[in-house]
Amino acid sequence: MIDIKYLREHPEEVKENIKKKFQDEKLPLVDEVIELDKERRDAQKEADELKASRNTLSKQIGVLMKEGKKEEAEEVKKQVAANAEKLAQLDAKQAEMEEKVTKIMMVIPNIIDPSVPIGKDDSQNVEVQRFGEPVVPDFEIPYHTDIMEKLKGIDLDSARRVAGNGFYYLMGDIARLHSAVISYARDFMIDRGFTYCVPPFMIRANVVTGVMSFAEMDAMMYKIEGEDLYLIGTSEHSMIGKFIDQIVPEEELPYTLTSYSPCFRKEKGAHGLEERGVYRIHQFEKQEMIVVCKPEESPMWFDKLWQNTVDLFRSMDIPVRTLECCSGDLADLKVKSVDVEAWSPRQKKYFEVGSCSNLGDAQARRLKIRVDGKDGKYLAHTLNNTVVAPPRMLIAFLENNLREDGSVAIPEVLRPYMGGKTEIRP
């Protein structure tokens, strides 16, 4: 959410930003919110004048009563009562306008960084850099669930009977590998100076609307029936929510946190849940990283965050690349975003395994996360990035470590988390 003052003073820049995001249907909202904001401010000005008049009249009543001028005092009292009725109307109008303005401002997209490439959708995202040499082996790489089934590591049929499509049972060494990757990612981030955290897995509606757009909320979040609670789609939601309504001392910044959680997603509007795959699913686990920092430091932290994911995957010899998200592929709150994609030898292409985002002060504005600095209070900047999200990451892992005989090599960094195993065999 952008600053209403900025919108008021730079309406054409806000409109140009909307055009860059290919959301022309939102252009009329800029003029609408300016008019509503003017009505709100006019009502506030009139209310302030009435309040000042009330104070003056109240003093006048006291003087008249002391002078014994009761009839004149009664007339002034009538005027005060009339003003009070008018003031109540103005306060109601002001609240109504405020609600309308906020509702519209929640829909107008954040101002994107000037470096963001302009494009309509993810097909126009721009490759930035590759890390590691993509390899296609001489033998055929099976579909990832076929690899898992040969290793007796997955049971999709039972999961469908229990919960439907989009769920799975991980079994044996594959389940252990899943946990090993999460544990390794946790320690990897701790070694980089991040504080480990296990957050709440449910959050209230005001936190949900503070961390994401209404469109994302509708497409992703599961609501708990009869409760003001939603299941998190990623621990970023509750981790950023941790600072709601807080004024944090500037000297404590930056906050650098890495969090574990299960994640739950409706995947509404997605291309469909695969019956045999685990790429797009309703439930998975994830290690996340978030930063709350001073505005001038957020570009530096953005580059550090995506580099952490690249380094993690390269430590397991998985080739990756970074992809700059174009304007039309950015969620409304994001200033800039980079996807990390892993190499798939089977598909002979890269696929997304993580996303790094700088949200500027958008989440902080919605959640009222302020910093107490030496020159006054200001809004913090927030960033988030995926460390690792199995089982999607397991697809890249299995394909890149599969041997011709069907066994899977365990990289050295994961062996301590796998009881010393060097391989998984059928």
Q: 140-156: per-residue pLDDT in tens?
A: 999 999 999 999 999 99
Q: What is the pLDDT of residue 64?
A: 66
> Cα–Cα distance between 410 and 415 in angstroms, integer?
6
Rounded to the nearest 10°, the torsion over CA 173, 175, 180, 186 is: 180
* Backbone dihedral angles phi then psi of residue 162, each to the nearest 5 degrees: -85, -40
Cα dist from 361 to 2, 100, 319, whole Å? 8, 21, 33
Which is nearest to 391 in space by CA: 214, 166, 216?
Answer: 166
Which residue intervals of the chain bear CATH 3.30.930.10? 122-424
The rounded percent of the chain whose pLDDT value lies above 90 is 78
Q: In Å, what is the CA distance from 6 to each residue of 10, 11, 352, 368?
A: 6, 8, 35, 17
CATH of segment(s) 122-424: 3.30.930.10
Question: DSSP assignment of 321-332, as one string?
Answer: EEEEPPGGGS-T
pLDDT at 269: 52
pLDDT at 307: 98
Adjacent-strand bridge partners of 320: 131, 342
What is the rounded average pLDDT of the residues 300-308? 98
C-alpha closest to that of 230 among 239, 220, 216: 220
Q: Scanning the structure block, which residue is given the tokens 């807080």?
A: 246
Give the pLDDT confidence of 352-363 residue by residue, as tens digits: 999 999 999 999
| Region label for 172, one of left (φ > 0), alpha (ψ between -120 and 50) or beta (otherwise) | left
230-286 pLDDT, tens per residue?
A: 999 999 999 999 999 999 999 999 999 999 999 999 976 555 555 578 888 899 999
Residues forming CATH 1.10.287.40 domain(s) in the chain: 4-105
The average confidence (pLDDT) of the chain is 92
* Nearest alpha-carbon partner for 198 in 296, 322, 287: 287
Q: Which residue has the tokens 């929510």?
A: 241
Write out pLDDT tens, residues 76-122.
677 777 777 778 888 888 889 889 999 999 999 999 999 999 999 99
Phi, psi of 272 (to 5 degrees): 115, 140
Among 318, 303, 302, CA closest to 131: 318
Q: Which residues 6+ apart lie within 8 Å of 408 measured at CB?
A: 147, 151, 398, 401, 402, 423, 424
pLDDT of res. 229: 95
Classified as helix, coil or strand, 131 is: strand
* pTM of the model as a whole: 0.89
- pLDDT band at 51, cuts 50/70/90? confident
Mean pLDDT confidence for 374-401? 95
pLDDT value of position 220: 87
Is the pLDDT score of 56 beyond 90?
A: no
Asked whether 235 and 228 are in contact (CB, 8 A), the reply is no
> What average pLDDT does the segment 320-338 reach?
96
pLDDT of 79 reads 73
pLDDT in tens, 312-322: 999 999 999 99
- Would you state the pLDDT for residue 123? 94
Q: Is CATH 2.170.120.12 correct for 4-105?
A: no
pLDDT value of position 85 = 78
Residues whose CB falls within 8 Å of the CB of residue 96, separated by 6 or more in sequence, listed in order:
none
- Dihedral angle at the C-alpha atoms of 119, 122, 123, 125, nearest 10 degrees? 60
pLDDT of 347 > 80? The answer is yes
- Are 328 and 120 in contact by the 8 Å Cβ rule? The answer is yes
| Cα 83 to Cα 53: distance, rounded to the nearest angstrom | 9
Q: Which residue has the higher pLDDT, 382 or 391?
A: 382
280 contacts: CB under 8 Å, gap ≥ 6: 166, 267, 270, 271, 272, 273, 274
Q: Is the pLDDT of residue 413 over 90?
A: yes
Does residue 171 sit in helix, strand or coil?
Answer: coil
- Rounded to whole angstroms, the Cα distance separating 9 from 30 reads 11
Q: What percent of the chain has pLDDT over 70?
A: 95
Q: What order do you get walking across the sheet with 202-203 strand by strand?
A: 202-203, 230-231, 222-223
How far apart are the two ends of the chain, measured CA to CA in Å? 52
Residue 376: CB atoms within 10 A of its CB come to: 8
Please give the pLDDT value at position 275: 56
DSSP 284-314: EEEEEEEEEE-GGGHHHHHHHHHHHHHHHHH
**Which pair of tokens denotes residue 43?**
């009502």
Handedness of CA 168, 174, 177, 181 (dihedral sign): negative
State the Cα–Cα distance between residues 330 and 117, nearest whole angstrom.
11
